[in-house]
Amino acid sequence: MDSVIEAPATWQQEIFSILKQGGVRQVAYVPDVGHSHVIQRVHADPDMRGVVLTTEEEGVATVCGAWLGGQRSVLLMQSSGVGNCINMLSLIQNCRFPFLCLVTMRGEWAEFNPWQVPMAKATQSSLEAMGVKVLRASRPEEVAETVRAAFDAVFQGGDSVAVLLSQSLIGRKEWERSK
């Protein structure tokens, strides 16, 4: 990743701070603009390791492996990747691993890509069907407290929690045409 860290929204800075202060050592992700600030900060921090994935389901196993190795980890993904994780989430439930996932939503507010809409509609119910508690932040002032609540439920309570970060937080995505 580029060494220049973009100027983020306050809520993005708060997410990184919560993870850092909470002792997260590994952050697994499929590259996503909505998570770009956190990803850049992780790669710039010598105490944290960013783990680039080829598919989101690998992230479930990575988070579990980190826990077995004595480290806290979090999975970052887009809502479209939740469908890729459904079967692998059985690992979380059967082995009772603590699991924290931050999901940037697509297919909601001002979505230009119709292929994102079906999974957006199914994201919450899919996670809940696999035993993952779902919290949602739709406004910037909700993000820190929601992520902090999820963090505590996971790493103090041993729960599995996904925080859905509304598409309106990230802003309108537009299709870029090549010139």
Measuring CA to CA, which residue among 82, 30, 89, 35 is closest to residue 54?
30
- Say if residue 114 is exposed, middle or buried (CB neighbours under 10 Å; 0-12, 13-18, 19+): exposed
Residue 49 has pLDDT above 80, yes or no: yes
27 within a domain of the structure (yes/no):
yes
91 within a domain of the structure (yes/no):
yes
Q: Give 172's pLDDT tier (boundaries 50, 70, 90).
A: low
3 state SS of 45:
coil
pTM, entire model:
0.89
129 within a domain of the structure (yes/no):
yes
177 within a domain of the structure (yes/no):
no
CA dihedral sign, ordered 14, 17, 18, 24: positive
Query: How far apart (Å, rounded) are the C-alpha atoms in residues 131 and 140?
Result: 27
Q: Are 77 and 29 in contact (CB under 8 A)?
A: yes
As beta bridge partners, residue 103 has: 77, 164
Q: Give 1's pLDDT tier (boundaries 50, 70, 90).
A: very low
- Maximum separation of any 2 CA atoms in the chain, in Å: 52
Structural domain total, the chain = 1
Return the CATH number at 105.
3.40.50.970
Give residue 88's domain range: 10-170
pLDDT tens, position by position, 92-128: 999 999 999 999 988 787 667 777 777 888 899 999 9
Report the range of poorest mean pLDDT among 58-62, 71-75, 109-113, 129-133: 109-113
CB atoms closer than 10 angstroms to residue 157: 11
